[in-house]
Chain A
Amino acid sequence: MGADGGLRDRFEHGLAAPICLTWEITWACNLACVHCLSSSGRRDPGELTTSEAAALIDEFAAMQIFYVNVGGGEPTIRGDFFELLEHAVARRVGVKFSTNGSRIDATRARRLASMDYVDVQISLDGATAQVNDAIRGEGSYDAALGAMRQLADAGFGRFKISVVVTSENLHQLDDFESLAQDLGAQLRLTRLRPSGRAVDHWERLKPTRDQNRFLHAWLLDHPDTLTGDSFFHLSPLGAPLDGLNLCGAGRVVCLVDPIGDVYACPFTIHDEFRAGSVRDAGGFASVWRESELFAELRAPGSAGACASCGSWDACRGGCMAAKFFTGMPLDGPDPDCVYGHGESATPAPVTLRPRASRDHSSLVAVGATRT
């Protein structure tokens, strides 16, 4: 998806409906990944009911939201998961859902393969069990690979292998690519954010500057790799990466959480970025169109400390969530600014950084984390 400058300016002012809407349908999860953006684990009794969720899908259809990115938690844990999936597809709202794969058996794989407008992203954060399981928990590598084989056997077609790039798996990019090719899948790489539980692991897991330089070159060499436009902070390294090269929060992107709260993006789950609730009068459409927060995010922003940088137009200061959760000013450089301006802006000490307003982590996690 390329966009010229004029179109990008229009996107800054927001669209009639989001292009990229993430809907986390449950906080329940059988894993406890150390970098979980939504601090998932336990189901919340206030989660949208089946009829509320179906009504929300109807609203997405009326707004012509072409597809939603469904996540969690582990979305397939919801007992009505397939019911909602079928409801969406019947209304021509495509669903791209992210799963850890542990519940994709042969029957479910065949059911998914029979549906139009459904894309599946299996999360994998290491090309080896050792690297993956250190982040996602023991046994999670085997579960993900098992699901991939089930989808391949069921003739699902090109599912996606979705990798959060970290300092520990960056040397495995070619291995991920080979795995995807072997399974007839497509590789998707996204940026680690210091959100949710990841705030405690950011310094250790975020790629180094050298690794980011390598990543940028690798992405230019592999233009078919999906990235969710998430590495635009690296564009000043040379050729711009494919995509908007712009923070889309509240402009083209937003998040709906399991209880219907709407946030500016999937990485800014904090009261400061809560725009409203789909349960409010007027529903999701009025949150998207009328929320004060989104109006602010769509107003022309100041380049702040980045104003004198020749690369402002390439990255526009990077990721708002990365700045916010490292305690940095939102109108300054990204903490991973390729020129190192983020480091000289001295991020706040970890203990003083904002933390997610809600934590759904399981009270007990078995074999999932390492310190």
Chain B
Amino acid sequence: MAPVEAKPATFDPNLPARLHPQVALRPESFGALAYHFETRRLVFVKSLPLVDVLEDLEHHASAASAVAAHVAPDEVTAYVAALARLFDSGVVDGR
């Protein structure tokens, strides 16, 4: 088994990120349901643009640039904060 890198304790939007490979997103009218198959946690993603950001994370050099690609400048702070919460719940992962 490959050594597991310690997960950073806090979310850094300037680092590359991804949707955790054990997380599935199901589209819903309000956004999406995210389910983490390892922790069995269900998370409600309550914004359609946030779903776009999550799906696009791995194509960007940083989480911040993925956010910038999908939301208006005055909303970036709120979306980065949302990603930080999703990082804490294991939905978002570093890469």
A-side residues, CB < 8 A to B, are 1, 3, 6-7, 10, 13, 15-17, 19, 64, 66-67, 92, 94, 116-117, 119
Q: Which of B26, B29, B30 contacts A64 (CB 8 A)?
A: B26
Q: Is the CB of B37 within 8 A of A64?
A: no
User: CA separation between A15 and B27, bound complex, in Å?
Assistant: 9
- CB pair A119 B42 closer than 8 Å: no
CA distance A35 to B77 in the complex (A): 52
- Bound: A92/B33 CA distance, A: 15
Query: Is there contact, CB below 8 Å, between A66 and B42?
Result: yes
Those of B10-56 within 8 Å (CB) of chain A: 24, 26-30, 33, 35, 37, 40, 42, 44, 46
| Bound CA span A16–B31, Å | 11
> If A10-B30, A16-B26, A16-B28 touch, does A66 touch B46 (CB 8 Å cutoff)?
no
Contacts of A67 in B (CB 8 A): 35, 40
A1-B42, A3-B44, A19-B42 are known contacts. Are A92 and B30 too (CB-CB below 8 A)?
no
Q: Assess whether A117 is in contact with B30, with CB atoms less than 8 Å apart.
A: no
Chain B residue nearest to A6 in the complex (CB): B46
A15 B33 Cβ-Cβ under 8 A: yes
Measured between beta carbons, the chain A residues less than 8 angstroms from B27 are 16
Interface centre among B27, B28, B29, B46 (most CB of A within 10 A): B28
- Docked-complex contact A64 and B24, CB < 8 angstroms: yes
Q: In the complex, A158→B46 CA distance in Å? A: 30
CB distance from B27 to the nearest CB of A (A): 7
Contacts of A16 in B (CB 8 A): 26-29
**Partner of A117 from B26, B37, B42 at Cβ < 8 Å:** B37
Q: Is the CB of B30 within 8 A of A66?
A: no
Smallest Cβ distance from A253 to chain B, in angstroms?
13
Report which of A10, A13, A94 forms a contact with B40, defined as CB distance below 8 A.
Answer: A94
> In the complex, are the beta carbons of A19 and B30 less than 8 A apart?
no
Q: Is the CB–CB distance between B24 and A15 below 8 Å?
A: no
- In addition to A10-B28, A15-B33, 8 A-B residue pairs with Cβ atoms within 8 Å of each other are A3-B44, A13-B29, A19-B33, A19-B42, A64-B26, A94-B37, A94-B40, A119-B40
Residues of the B chain whose Cβ atoms lie less than 8 Å from the Cβ of A1: 42
Residues of B within 8 A of A66 (CB): 24, 26, 33, 35, 37, 42
A7 to B30, CA, bound (A): 8
Inside 8 A of A15's CB, which chain B residues have their CB?
A: 28, 33
CB distance from B40 to the nearest CB of A (A): 7
Q: Can you identify 12 A-B contacts, CB atoms within 8 angstroms?
A: A1-B42, A3-B44, A7-B44, A13-B29, A16-B26, A19-B42, A66-B24, A66-B33, A67-B35, A67-B40, A117-B37, A119-B40
B28 to chain A, nearest CB (A): 5
> In whole Å, how far is A6's beta carbon from the nearest beta carbon of chain B?
8
Residue of B nearest to A66 (CB): B35
Within 8 Å CB of B29, what residues of A? 10, 13, 16
Is there contact, CB below 8 Å, between A17 and B24? no
B22 to chain A, nearest CB (A): 9
CA distance A119 to B40 in the complex (A): 10
Chain A residues, Cβ within 8 Å of B33: 15, 19, 66
As a 0/1 sequence over residues 47 to 83 of chain B, the CB contacts with chain A under 8 angstroms (1 = contact) are: 0000000000000000000000000000000000000
CA distance A17 to B37 in the complex (A): 17
Q: Chain B residues near A64: list those with CB within 8 A.
A: 24, 26
Chain B residue contacts of A13, Cβ below 8 A: 29
- Assembly CA distance A270 to B93 (angstroms): 45
Task: Provide the bound-state CA to CA distance between A1 and B30, in Å.
Answer: 17
